[in-house]
Amino acid sequence: MPFAKDFFDVGLFTNQAEAVRAFYSGLGLSFDHTLKLGGGVLQHRYQADEAVLKINDARDPLAPRPEGNPLIELIIASPECRSPTTSVDPDGNRVTCVPVGYEGNEGLTVRLSVTSPNSSRTFYVDALGLTEDSPGVLRCGRARLRLEESGQPPAAEAPLAATGLRYLTFQVFDCDAAYARAIQAGAVSGRAPVTLGNTARIAFVYDPDGIWLELSERASVTGKAV
């Protein structure tokens, strides 16, 4: 499955957007714009190369950060970073800032704690079309997912709108085809495809560890109307 851009995006939810935005701005991410998602949620979009960190600013109280959240670390490749530095954002997400190109990192990289790296590798290759860069490292264009064995069964299902790192977004040229391929390869449907005005057509599926994955056919990325 061809991707519409060489990076995936990362989405988080927060009830303390001012502090979270200041934290990521301080790591060198540049603010692009804010979207109104409805339901009392504003999405503040920050750029890391072509990757987007989507800070979903929720008006209503969120469910707490899920215990055993498989998205265990966000790695940001920043031109302002001179050496790797690890810290924790205001919501408790582990974040490491590295120079661009350090250990092959560009844009945003995510470490995933998964029950079976082999099963997860098969899923991401077959269902989404990622490629294996090296054992435990998958590539979406220039972006990377790093798989680490958790030694635990999959975490209990958690809602999308909960505090912390919650989902990955893959930009595709055809949301419906990408969704169908993922389901055929064993993904569990989170939300069937829907059209969001003139902006995008999106769907959500789960990976084997219950990680939310968004398939987004975004007009501004694909260059065609939805």
What pLDDT does residue 44 have?
A: 98
- What DSSP string runs through the chain? --BSSS--EEEEEES-HHHHHHHHHHTTPEEEEEEEEETTEEEEEEEETTEEEEEEEESSPPBPPPTT-SEEEEEEE-TT-SS-EEEE-TTS-EEEEE-TTGGG--SEEEEEEES-HHHHHHHIIIII--EEEETTEEEETTEEEEEEE-SSPPPPP--SSBSEEEEEEEEBS-HHHHHHHHHHTTPEEEEEEEEETTTEEEEEEE-TT--EEEEEEEHHHHSS--
Q: Domain map of the chain by residue range?
A: 9-222
Report whether pLDDT(21) > 70.
yes
172-193 average pLDDT score: 95
Query: pLDDT band at residue 2, thresholds of 50, 70 and 90?
Result: confident
Percentage, residues of the chain above pLDDT 90 = 87
Mention the CATH class of domain 9-222.
alpha beta
What pLDDT does residue 68 have?
A: 84
132-140 average pLDDT score: 94
What pLDDT does residue 67 have?
A: 84
What pLDDT does residue 56 have?
A: 98
Report whether pLDDT(151) > 90.
no
Dihedral (CA of 167, 169, 170, 172) sign: positive
Mean residue pLDDT across the chain: 94
pLDDT tens digits for range 153-162: 776 678 999 9
pTM of the model: 0.95
Q: Compute the CA torsion angle 28, 128, 12, 108 (nearest 10 deg).
A: -10
